[in-house]
Amino acid sequence: MPRLEVFPQNHMKTAYGIWLFTAQHPLVRKLKRFAQPNVHGHKTWSSSYLIMDYLQENRLKKNSRVLELGCGWGPASVYCASQQKARVTGLDVDENVFPYLEMMAAANDCKVRTLQASFNDMKGKKLAGFDVIVGADICFWESLTDDLFKLFRRARRAGVKKIILADPGRSTFDDLCERCEKAWPGSFSHEYWYALEPKRFEGQLLILDFS
Ligand SMILES: C[S@@+](CC[C@H](N)C(=O)[O-])C[C@H]1O[C@@H](n2cnc3c(N)ncnc32)[C@H](O)[C@@H]1O
Confidence of residue 131 (pLDDT cuts 50, 70, 90): very high
- Nearest CA to 160 among 140, 133, 200? 133
Position 8 pLDDT exceeds 80: no
- Helix ranges (H only) for the chain are 26-31, 47-57, 75-83, 98-107, 124-127, 142-158, 171-183
pLDDT digits (tens, 9 = 90+) for 157-178: 999 999 999 999 999 999 999 9
Confidence of residue 16 (pLDDT cuts 50, 70, 90): very high
Query: Cα of 158 to ligand 1 centre, how many Å?
Result: 23
The answer to whether 172 and 143 are in contact (CB under 8 A) is no
- Domains of the chain (ranges; CATH) run 12-209 (3.40.50.150)
pLDDT of residue 5: 61
pLDDT of residue 37: 80
Backbone angles phi, psi at 14, to 5 degrees: -125, 145
Q: Which amino acid is at 2?
A: P
Q: What is the mean pLDDT of residues 141-148?
A: 97
Report d(CA 156, CA 73) in Å as an integer. 26
pLDDT digits (tens, 9 = 90+) for 31-83: 888 888 876 767 788 999 999 999 999 999 989 999 999 999 999 999 999 99
For residue 41 and ligand 1, the question of a CB distance below 6 A is answered with yes
- Nearest CA to 67 among 165, 179, 146? 165
Position 3 pLDDT exceeds 80: no
Query: Cα of 118 to ligand 1 centre, how many Å?
Result: 9
pLDDT of residue 23: 87
Position 210 pLDDT exceeds 70: yes
The answer to whether 211 and 162 are in contact (CB under 8 A) is yes
For residue 77 and ligand 1, the question of a CB distance below 6 A is answered with no
